[in-house]
């Protein structure tokens, strides 16, 4: 079992990627060595009780030092509340408190021709490291690099063009990027799942992260196509450790349904396990 890192760490940089969207780099080799795509970490501001609780952020990618060893962690966040509003003001050489890695990462997949990653809103953030992992560009969590997908297609939906964040990163990692926007200002005009429906050939495996209505639509599409699908849930969390039971989601059981904690049983779930 991976050891939990809990530390106050220096910030390497904190830069704007898109409207209200930032990437913060955390200098923490122990966390960078341990974390895998699909896992997350909790972040809070040290020496402050407002807000009191940390917030969960997905791994965007790990940063390597000059010898090729993991030295830091990048996360991307959207400014939507008090903590993220304060976080964007944090400067390089200042510090934040983190704990992680938390949750379960994306599942290991058999060799596949094409994997489709489907993101809405800020749901693209777990996918950069996963693209590198699938295409064999990088290994994470102490694992060697191993290619499992011949091709990775990212379907990324936003409300409007200036909210699209990290597109160049995804392309540089080797993904085919297909954009959709509500207002037609970039890519396909309409829902990202509608853009996915137009894609030929169909991906052999789907992975989604984003707002619940998008995830539900993706789940229905995966069921219709008979394609395996995993979803990374964006459930609000308070502790990230499974103690507070504030992040539960409904799952199917032999008796009908029950609750599972997203922070420890997820955040990645097989779509067949979820109740909508």
Q: How far apart are the first and last CA of the chain?
A: 31
pLDDT band at 276; cut points 50, 70, 90: confident
- Tokens standing for residue 236: 């609000």
DSSP letter at 271?
G
Q: Quick check: is 38 in a domain?
A: yes
Which pLDDT does position 212 carry in this prediction?
Answer: 96
The residues with which 213 forms a beta bridge, in sequence order, are none
Q: Which residue has better confidence, 49 or 274?
A: 274
Q: Quick check: is 107 in a domain?
A: no
Q: Quick check: is 52 in a domain?
A: yes
CA atoms within 13 A on the CB side of 77: 25
What is the average per-residue pLDDT within 227-247? 95
Residues 77 and 91 in one domain: yes
Residues 253 and 146 in one domain: no
Q: Give the range of the structural domain holding residue 243, as residue numbers without chain letter.
A: 236-276
Which pLDDT does position 43 carry in this prediction?
Answer: 97
Residues 77 and 161 in one domain: no
Answer yes or no: is pLDDT of 2 > 80: no
Closest CA to 5 of 39, 38, 37: 39
DSSP string, 165-211: -SHHHHHHHT-EEEEEETTSSSSEES-HHHHHHH-SSPPSEEEEES-
Residues 49 and 136 in one domain: no
Among 102, 135, 151, give the residue marking a domain's end.
102
Residues 227 and 254 in one domain: no
pLDDT by residue (tens digit) across 136-172? 999 999 999 999 999 999 999 999 999 999 999 999 9
Look at the chain and report how many structural domains it folds into: 3
Question: What pTM does this model have?
Answer: 0.96
Q: Which residue has better confidence, 255 or 100?
A: 100
Residues 133 and 228 in one domain: yes
């Amino acid at each position: 079992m991976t050891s939990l890192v809990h530390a106050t760490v220096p910030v390497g940089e904190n830069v704007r990627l898109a409207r209200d969207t930032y990437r913060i780099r955390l200098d923490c080799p122990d966390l960078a060595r341990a974390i895998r795509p699909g896992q997350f970490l909790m972040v809070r501001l040290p020496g402050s009780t407002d807000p009191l609780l940390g917030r969960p952020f997905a791994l965007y990618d790990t940063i390597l030092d000059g010898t090729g060893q993991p030295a830091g962690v990048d996360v991307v966040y959207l400014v939507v509340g008090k903590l993220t509003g304060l976080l964007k003001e944090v400067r390089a050489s200042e510090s934040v408190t983190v704990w992680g890695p938390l949750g379960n990462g994306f599942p290991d997949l058999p060799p596949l021709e094409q994997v489709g990653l489907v993101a809405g809103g800020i749901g693209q953030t777990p996918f950069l490291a996963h693209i590198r992992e699938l295409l064999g560009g990088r290994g994470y969590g102490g694992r060697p690099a191993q290619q499992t997908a011949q091709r990775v297609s990212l379907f990324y939906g936003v409300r409007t063009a200036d909210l699209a964040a990290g597109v160049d990163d995804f392309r540089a990692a080797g993904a085919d990027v297909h954009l959709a926007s509500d207002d037609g200002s970039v890519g396909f005009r309409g829902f990202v799942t509608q853009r996915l429906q137009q894609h030929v050939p169909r991906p052999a495996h789907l992975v989604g992260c984003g707002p619940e209505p998008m995830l539900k639509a993706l789940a229905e599409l995966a069921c219709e196509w008979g394609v395996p699908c995993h979803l990374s849930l964006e459930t609000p969390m308070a502790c990230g450790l499974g103690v507070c039971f504030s992040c539960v989601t409904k799952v199917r059981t032999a008796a009908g349904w029950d609750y599972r904690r997203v922070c420890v049983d997820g955040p990645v779930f097989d779509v067949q396990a979820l109740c909508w």
